[in-house]
Amino acid sequence: MPEAVIVSAVRTPIGTAFKGTLSETPAEDLATHVLREAVRRSGLAPGRFDDVAFGEVMYGGGDLARYAAVAAGMTHVPGVAVQRHCASGLAAIGLAAASIRAGMDRAVVAGGVQSSSTGPSLTWRIPGSDGSEQRIAPTFPHTDEATDDVSLSVGWNVAQRYGLTREQMDAWALRSHRRAVAATGSGAFADEIVPIKVTRRDGSVVEFAADEHPRSTTSAEKLASLAPLHPEIDGFSITAGSASGMNDGAAALAIVADDLARAEGLPELAVVRAWTAVGVQPAYTGVGAIDAATKVLERAGLRASEIDLWEINEAFASVPVAACEVLGLDEERVNVHGSGCSLGHPIAATGARMVTTLVHELRRRGGGFGLATMCAGGGQGGAVVIEVP
């Protein structure tokens, strides 16, 4: 059985939705940009790739992976849209690795793309009437305990279940910003970020080369001063500061069979060792990151203590804080360059972004195991384990 080897891993800088640098750049342009660069860096001719799998969320149909393939001149390569909400990028990586290990494909580009700034607004007819309403497509049956308000089902309910304090979550968010700012300043993202030229609304063209969501001015005092998102709920401790942002961005990884990589002399950056997805109660969606991590460790035959670096998406700070407590993790090995609270959360791209960051940071550190895990809308979770030799 061939191994699935990552031979390139890239991402765009992450933009702040609606008011940031990527706010006028549609998702198809972001997807095409990272696809081209992932293929170029792989060292494999574009004609050798079998498929493109891209996560996309809240786009109401279409197939951005196929669009990017055609736009990149890879007309013979099909594309598949992968939708597992926040874990879509991770699911795309698992799909690519599975096809390669099964011997069905030899080379696949996997990733995810999100333009929250330019995404469609979906209108639905109300059954039994001629009226309509704007809403997102349902993923689970709504109840009093489980609605589309993720500040409750991801942030607050997880904080309540594990007895987390606002001080713990604010402290995590502050550290996230400090780590992201430090990583940008030190050049830690230089190997993974692909600058992109964008046209602003006024017609000017700029090169976007660094994440713009992290805030160097964030302080403990500023975070403590923020109002809770639900002041009507007694003791509610989730704020905008301990939540991820709304963001734009894309990430892509070229994944090939190990024998193909050796035969072509491609850069073998990492091996995809295991992947998984889980379902949890929608009212406690944030738990999905913990359950997915537990399941993927079992599939990889590893213990949590054997993982050198962790990426746990900060959909809300409560998620990684709870995961560290439950799994017994050393916080110094978790989100070493920040995550959702600071870098932002371009939904469908985040999973691929996390694995991309793990690949490059583990290589800088001399190798080891990395685990990316996250919760996903509707009471789900996804996780991937990689090994950098």
Separation between Cα atoms, residue 237 and residue 249, nearest integer Å: 29
In DSSP terms, 228 is beta-bridged to 239
Identify the active-site residue in 33, 85, 86, 324: 86
Separation between Cα atoms, residue 79 and residue 343, nearest integer Å: 28
Q: Does the annotation mark 86 as catalytic?
A: yes
In 56-203, the DSSP E strands lie at 79-82, 107-115, 123-125, 132-134, 196-199
For tokens 């992932």, the residue is: 38
In DSSP terms, 277 is beta-bridged to 382
Separation between Cα atoms, residue 205 and residue 200, nearest integer Å: 6
Separation between Cα atoms, residue 209 and residue 24, nearest integer Å: 16
DSSP letters along 48-65, please?
Answer: G--EEEEE--S--S--HH
**β-pairing, 79-82 with 123-125?**
unpaired
Q: Is 319 helix (H, G, I), strand (E, B) or coil?
A: helix
How far apart, in Å, are the Cα atoms of 115 and each of 27, 51, 59, 135?
5, 22, 9, 17
User: Which spans in 267-307 are helix H?
Assistant: 288-300
**β-pairing, 123-125 with 132-134?**
antiparallel
For tokens 């900060």, the residue is: 314
Q: Cβ(348)–Cβ(56) under 8 Å?
A: yes
Q: Measure the CA angle with vertex 165, ends 159 and 169; round to 5°.
A: 80
User: Which residue type does 360 have?
Assistant: H
Separation between Cα atoms, residue 164 and residue 161, nearest integer Å: 8
CB count, 10 Å around CB of 345?
27
User: Which spans in 4-150 are helix H?
Assistant: 27-42, 64-71, 88-101, 150
Identify the active-site residue in 177, 213, 337, 345: 345
- Closest by CA to 288, choosing from 248, 259, 316, is 316
In DSSP terms, 82 is beta-bridged to 55
Q: Does the annotation mark 324 as catalytic?
A: no
Q: Does the annotation mark 341 as catalytic?
A: no
Catalytic residues: 86, 345, 375
